[in-house]
Every structure is written in C-alpha cells, then in structure tokens.
Amino acid sequence: MMATGEDPTVFRFSTDALPACARGGAVRALYEDPMLPTRLEPLEPLWNCPIRVDITQRALPGLAILSGRLCGLRQHVRPERSLQTGTDDLFFGVNLTGTSTAHQGGRQVMLRAGDAFFANRGKTGFTIIRPTQVRFVGLRVSRSALMPLVSNLDDAVFRLIPHHVGALRLLTKYISVVVDGQPPFTPEMRRLVATQVHDLIALAIGATRDAALIAQGRGVRASRLGAIKADITTNLRDYGLSVAAIAARHRVTPRYIHKLFESEGITFSEFVLRRRLERAHRMLTDPRFAGRTISFVAFDVGFGDLSYFNRAFRRCYNATPSEVKHSAVRK
C-alpha cells in the first residue's frame, strides 16, 4: 500500500492492492500518516463512486509536489488549517487528464485536461471534487517565495488558469520531468528545482515585469531544456533523431536548442551520444539482456553504425561492449 525509498522527502501511497471495501478507511487514515513529508488535506470518499488513490509526494524547500491519480474523492482545504499550523501556503493545481471541479464560496470552476487553478490557502477555503479518474499535479507553495515575484498576490484568492497559457504549459512539462525522473537528492538540486517552479507559477498567475525577466532566464529556460532532454531520452531508438526534429516538436529553433545545451557546457550531439551510451551500458550489464548480441544493443539504443558504437563506447568506458558484457555475466 505504501512505499518510501531512500529519500525521506518522497512518499508514495496507493490503494491498488486493497479490496474496494478497505479503500475508504485507508484514504481517511492517510491524513494522519506520520511518514508524509508534508501533511495532506483530508480526502473524503464520494458516495457511490469507485475509489482510487495512487499518489507520490515530494518535499522541496518552499514547495511540496503531489502527483498521481485520484478517483471518487472530495478534498476540502480549510483556511483555518493554515493558521493553526503557522504556514502561509498557496496552492496551484494542474488537471493533466480527466475533469475536476473546484469550489470556493459561491464560485465554481470546471477543470478540463491541461487547466489549472490557483488558490490562496490563507484567505479562503476551497473544495476539489473528482468523481472520475483524474491525473493531476498539486503544488503547495510557500507564500513568501512568490510574494517578491507576483503583483498583488493577496488579490489572487481563487483563479482559473486555462490550458492555453504558455507559462502553464511550460510548468506542466517541467513538472513532468521532475515527477518522472530521479528525485533531486542533493540540497542544491532541491533548491534549484523549487526556484524554477516558483518562477513558472509566477509567470502563470502574473509575475511582475522584473520577475518575469528573471524567470525567462531561469525557470522558462530550465523547463524547456528539461522537456527537450526528456524528449531525447524517450526517442533514443529513433535513428533520425536530430536537433531539427526536436526543435519542430517543441516549436523553437535549432539554434535555440543549441544555446540551451551550450549553457550547460555540452552540445546537443554530445548529450544524445551520452544518453545512448548510458542506455547501452545498462542493457549490457542487465541479466535480462544477457542473450542479446552487441549489435542488437547498439541498434536498439539508436546507433546505425556498429563500428562507431564500439569506438564511442570504448572511449567512454575504457572497455569494449563485449568486455563489459562478459564482466557482468561473471559476477
């Protein structure tokens, strides 16, 4: 039902292994779970709806990221809880797939795929209802982190951000890279990710002019680069993988992509080569691929020339693919 890894800032919970009759109680008990890095708002099962919870929570400086799938649940956030705990949190929720409704006072907003909403937890309560399955990301953000970035932050009590807002699309792409990739273990990486997310949230809800200029060089650039790296990693098997193809998919110029990688001291081609060699090395040392030939591995990770693969692999690992494979078999 629950699992935590080596990183105590990551918490996972799922009802998938539970019988339907036990899910409601498990979901209610989740609110009090001491393993949670950041306490969740109570989840209440909806009557006559199937219940599913499959979530991961990550705690970063001034930011908590809750992601996963929910179904058949109501979540009510009370403003007094922020006062009782001494927090000044804000909430930014993204509906990745499915449909949700968010209620605040007499106002209701419908969240469709790609939409988001922003709420000031310290100002008013709100309720999110998800009768059918929704894939979502919820960002609990420190108010003090956004205050210098957003004009009239206290006036942004409850706001819908439509899916077509450019900063929201960038934020969604960046968060998907953070959620799907390895968690940032070092304190420096945690701070960097949190800062970039703060920048993108500010842009989505209305950053000041100075903050927008800073974010363009910090959060926006990082989100684009993260999304491009994820695209490359997903499509390594494509022999035709090129900067032109990636640029077309992300609606930027090839030169812009080259500049993004140059800012990290690497070229686009070097990054692609490194990722392909890393994947090849994992396959060669994985017992599940022990019966595969060297040529199969090379072509499977996107190399079209076996001789070039062998040379590049040896330069990188100071050993041939055959030597690495045989060494793994002997262990």
Q: Tens of pLDDT along 104-132?
A: 877 888 999 999 988 876 666 788 999 99
Give residue-wise pLDDT tens across range 147-171.
777 777 666 667 888 888 888 888 8
Those residues whose C-beta lies under 8 Å from the C-beta of residue 203, and which sit 6 or more positions away, are 167, 170, 171, 212, 215, 219, 220
- Residue 76: per-residue pLDDT: 83
- The full set of domain ranges for the chain reads 2-164, 237-331
Question: Cα 16–17–18 angle (5° rounding)?
Answer: 95
Residues 96/136, Cβ–Cβ less than 8 Å:
yes
Residue 19's CB: how many other CB atoms inside 10 A? Answer: 7
Q: How far apart are alpha carbons 205 and 128 in whole angstroms?
A: 19
Average pLDDT across the chain, whole number: 82
Q: At what angle do helices 254-262 and 268-284 cross, to 10 degrees?
A: 70
Q: What is the dihedral of CA 120, 125, 130, 131, to 10 degrees?
A: -160
- Residue 106: per-residue pLDDT: 78
3-state class of 6 per DSSP? coil
Q: Which two tokens stand for residue 61?
A: 């400086």
Q: How far apart are alpha carbons 266 and 177 in whole angstroms?
A: 20
Give residue-wise pLDDT tens across range 243-273.
998 888 887 889 989 988 888 889 999 999 9
**For tokens 């409601």, what's the residue?**
24
* pTM of structure: 0.65
Q: Going by CATH, does the domain composed of 2-164 fall within 2.60.120.10?
A: yes
Q: Sign of the C-alpha dihedral, residues 264, 265, 270, 276?
A: negative
Whose CA is closest to 181, among 40, 56, 2?
A: 56
- Residue 60: per-residue pLDDT: 84
Q: How far apart are alpha carbons 155 and 327 in whole angstroms?
A: 63
Q: How far apart are alpha carbons 324 and 307 in whole angstroms?
A: 16
pLDDT confidence bin for 84, thresholds 50/70/90: very low
Q: How far apart are alpha carbons 118 and 193 in whole angstroms?
A: 20
Fold of 237-331: Arc Repressor Mutant, subunit A (1.10.10)
Residues 10/58, Cβ–Cβ less than 8 Å:
yes
The percent of the chain in helix, strand and coil, each rounded to the nearest 5, is 45, 25, 30
Taking 50 as the threshold, does the pLDDT of residue 1 lie above it? no
Q: How far apart are alpha carbons 258 and 253 in whole angstroms?
A: 9
Q: What are the start-end ranges of the E strands in 121-272?
A: 126-130, 134-142, 158-161
